[in-house]
Amino acid sequence: MKRRAPFATHDDQFFWDGVAAGELRLQRCAKCLKLRHPPGPMCPHCHSLEWRIERASGRGSVYSYVIPRHTAIDSGGDPVIVALIELEEGARLVSNLCEVAPDAVRNGMAVEVFFTEFEDGVRLHQFRPAGR
C-alpha cells in the first residue's frame, strides 16, 4: 500500500502547518489551560472557544505499538511500525516509530519526534528512540 496524505480541517490547520514548519504543535484551552488532542474547536471541560497553540517538546514514550503485516504501507525496507505515543505534555497521538528493529520495540521506551518527507510531498511527524 502507498502512504496516504493527511488532510487538514478548519479546526486543526495549525497542527499541519506545524508539521510543515518542523514543529509538533498542541492545542491548549486559553481559559482552563487543559491540553487536548486530537484538536477541536471547543474545550470539553469549560466550553471556551478560545485556545492557543504551543510547541510540544517532541519527547514522549511508546504507549502501545503494532506492526501491520497485511495491507501494510510498502516501505521498501523494514516494516512500518505504528505507535501510540504518549507525549510528556500528556497528550497521546498516533505516529510511526522509526530507526528501531520491530523486535526491539518496548512499551514505555523513550522517543523523540522528527519530520520526514515521503513521496508525493507527504510530510509527517515521526518518532525514533530518544537520545541517539
Partner 1 sequence: MASGVSDRTVIAGIGQTEFSKNSGRSELQLAAEASLAALDDAGLTAADIDGMVTYTLDSTGEFELVRNLGIKDLRYYSRAPYGGAATCAVVLHAAAAVAAGAANVVLIYRAFNERSGRRFGLPQAPGQVSSSGSLWWRWYMPFGLDTPAKWAALHFQRYMHVYGVTNEDFGRYSVVCRKHAANNPGAYFYQRPITLEDHQNSRWIVEPVLRLLDCCQESDGGVALLITSRERARDLRRPPARIVAAAQSALLGGDIVSDYYHEDIAGMAEIGDIGAQLWSQSGLRPRDIQAAMLYDHFSPIIFMHLEEFGFCGRGEARDFIKQGNIELGGSVPVNTHGGLLGEAYIHGVNHINEAVRQLRGVAINQVADVQHVLVSAGMSGIILGSS
Give the nearest distance from C-beta 68 to partner 1 in angstroms. 5
CB-based contact 93:37 (threshold 8 Å): yes
Distance CA(97)–CA(124), nearest Å, equals 12
Distance CA(96)–CA(66), nearest Å, equals 10
Give the nearest distance from C-beta 117 to partner 1 in angstroms. 13
Site of interaction with partner 1 (CB under 8 A):
1, 3-7, 9, 38, 44, 63-73, 80, 82-84, 92-96, 102, 107, 122, 124
**What does the block give as the cell for 48?**
471556551
Give the nearest distance from C-beta 47 to partner 1 in angstroms. 13
Instruction: Select 20 or 71, whichever has its Cβ closest to partner 1.
Output: 71
Instruction: Select 84 or 130, whichever has its Cβ closest to partner 1.
Output: 84
SS3 assignment, position 104: helix
Give the nearest distance from C-beta 59 to partner 1 in angstroms. 19
Distance CA(56)–CA(88), nearest Å, equals 8
